[in-house]
Amino acid sequence: MRKTPVCVVGLGLIGGSLMRAAQSAGRDVFGYNRSVEGVEAARFDGYDATTRLDEALTRAAETGALIVLAVPMPALPMMLTHVRATAPHCPLTDVTSVKGAVLDAVTEAGLLDRFVGGHPMTGTAHSGWTAGDAGLFAGAPWVVSVDDHVEPDVWTEVTALALDCHAVVVPARSDEHDRAAATISHLPHLLAEALAVTAGQIPLAFALAAGSFRDGTRVAGTAPDLVRAMCEANADELLPVLDESLRLLSDARDQLAEHRSVAELVEAGHAARVRYDSFNRPDIVGVVVGAPGWRDELAAAGRAGGVIRSALPSRDSRG
Amino acid sequence: MRKTPVCVVGLGLIGGSLMRAAQSAGRDVFGYNRSVEGVEAARFDGYDATTRLDEALTRAAETGALIVLAVPMPALPMMLTHVRATAPHCPLTDVTSVKGAVLDAVTEAGLLDRFVGGHPMTGTAHSGWTAGDAGLFAGAPWVVSVDDHVEPDVWTEVTALALDCHAVVVPARSDEHDRAAATISHLPHLLAEALAVTAGQIPLAFALAAGSFRDGTRVAGTAPDLVRAMCEANADELLPVLDESLRLLSDARDQLAEHRSVAELVEAGHAARVRYDSFNRPDIVGVVVGAPGWRDELAAAGRAGGVIRSALPSRDSRG
């Protein structure tokens, strides 16, 4: 069976890596990039790239390609308008880190029925075509959304692409993804910033700082613009988990002041970390894509740590 | 010139490593340990150890040895009572991580005039004589206190021992040490525990957790008893820095809720972390121990990141 072609919109670190990985997997891949430099670099490396978005999208419509939106969030609405105009029936996915905001933009553009959101959880400190690498996704979790609107055929296409890139697929609802990302990625950034600022005010702190401080503030080294973009785009999900952390720390503060004890927080924190260390990553098998309740089943399996390492069976009928 | 002998009280990880390092440096070293097992292991390795505290302290008094208290904080008052009874004129130091509490116990025991607190900032996850290593202190910061009561001759003895162990000496006041330790060691533990607990409550969080979360919660893997002991013994210094972090995070929360911005915290955090990365560790030279104002000069130099890598000149007179 011929594999579905892939049209990559945006050839930066993620889009460029995806183009390389999908082509190595034997797919027809073509792509669009705004900058001439990126396109020339991709062509020099032997890839099929253009600066003409209409050309890329027309070809996607003609070949029934899977369109992957790999542009930054601010550029997304404009790209969606073009997709709607030129290739509205192509299966559509994205690689953006905040899924709720993308879902809103896709709904706004009237493209929800062919869209399944994605988020490959990988990256490097570098950007642009030249930073790309066909191996970037190998072994990394790639979230593929199982929201209520998701169609089995598009979901299967997006999952197949992620598996072609050698990622492991984590099925998840967009809202749960965003809440989890707020907790495990955006909140740690804010805690690290607060720790760095606090230490910066204390004489002798930098002079004595060692492992705990270095680990605890490592992500404060990330460029402020990137941290702001992540945290602010996901504000609705970040606020409740930030509030929960503030509550835990304030309670510990009161216990320490009144009873000179931090037992409650320290024991709960240690137990949670031990639970994380022993968290299983079982393979998800036996779910039939398109069968009744398949989206809820996959969401539950992903929540429990399950990952998809090879294609799931699917039903012809829509679930 | 004959080097001052060393009497090590407590032959666990730190005391046992110190015994080995001081002996390699050509010192006469002898030590006491409560458990027969520890003493037998030390003797088997060719070291001079006894389970009889009175014997060790009598010998210290006779030889004018530098006594190093390397027992856990709860055992300290009892040891100080014995030192007061048997060897009250020996120079005295310790290796405990909270310096204010030790200073109180030493004052209580009436031994302040011969005491200079110390804190080698190193360790491993293991404990006991067999975990010890003569190289444990190599390159590590070893805080030697410059509190107002500190006598130049004792300070010089303690510094010489730290340098013999190949540590770099950071001169600091006990209260500043404890405030800095609260910030760079105890606060990061509480933040890590809060992050682990928060993530433990969010479905999908462990399933998606990666680098930021792993780094941010690494120290939550430390045994709860150790974390409690550190944080609770240093409660007076930990509370204000915890309050400052809570204030920073609450302000960021309000900015995020009202203006969808975390700019203030993120930019300040990044700036602080960059400042830490470029923090200099100049050698402290030119301070004459015992000269007028020498303690304040050393405290200021330590605060600025300075370290002592070889013995400072000293005046015969007391400063």
Q: What is the pLDDT of residue B318?
A: 45
Nearest CA in chain B to A211: B185
* Residue B194 scores a pLDDT above 90: yes
Substitution target in B98, B144, B197 with the highest count of A β-carbons within 10 Å is B197
Asked if B266 lies within 8 A of A224 by C-beta distance, the reply is yes
Alpha-carbon distance A227 to nearest alpha carbon in chain B (angstroms): 7
What average pLDDT does the structure give for chain B? 95
Q: What is the pLDDT of residue A281?
A: 87
Q: Which among B184, B209, B216 has CB closest to A191?
A: B216
Q: What is the pLDDT of residue B226?
A: 87
Alpha-carbon distance A61 to nearest alpha carbon in chain B (angstroms): 34
Q: Which two tokens stand for residue A313?
A: 């069976």
Asked if B231 lies within 8 A of A141 by C-beta distance, the reply is no
Asked if B207 lies within 8 A of A260 by C-beta distance, the reply is no
- Per-residue pLDDT tens digits for A89-116: 999 999 998 999 999 999 999 999 999 9
Other beta carbons within 10 angstroms of residue A122's beta carbon come to 21
Strands of chain B (E only): list them.
6-9, 29-32, 48-50, 66-69, 92-94, 118-120, 141-145, 168-172
Alpha-carbon radius of gyration of chain B = 22
| Domains within chain A, CATH numbers bracketed | 6-172+281-303 (3.40.50.720), 177-277 (1.10.3660.10)
SS (H, E, C) A138-165: CCCEEEEECCCCCCHHHHHHHHHHHHHC
Asked if A269 lies within 8 A of B191 by C-beta distance, the reply is no
Q: What is the pLDDT of residue B107?
A: 98
Contact B114, B154 (CB under 8 A): yes
Contact A197, B269 (CB under 8 A): yes
pLDDT bracket for residue A1 (50, 70, 90): low
* Residue that has been written with the tokens 């082509």 in this structure: A23
Substitution target in A176, A177, A208 with the highest count of B β-carbons within 10 Å is A208
Q: Which among A189, A207, A267 has CB closest to B224?
A: A267
* Residue A318 scores a pLDDT above 70: no
CA distance B290 to B287: 9
Alpha-carbon distance B11 to nearest alpha carbon in chain A (angstroms): 25
Alpha-carbon distance B79 to nearest alpha carbon in chain A (angstroms): 25
- Per-residue pLDDT tens digits for A195-230: 999 999 998 999 999 888 999 999 999 999 989 988
Mean of the pLDDT values across residues B42-60? 98
* Residue that has been written with the tokens 């055992």 in this structure: B75
- Per-residue pLDDT tens digits for B75-121: 999 999 999 999 999 999 999 989 999 999 999 999 999 999 999 99
Asked if A262 lies within 8 A of B222 by C-beta distance, the reply is no
Q: Which among A245, A266, A306 has CB closest to B198?
A: A245
Beta-carbon contacts below 8 Å between A and B: 344
Q: What is the pLDDT of residue A266?
A: 98
Asked if B270 lies within 8 A of A198 by C-beta distance, the reply is no
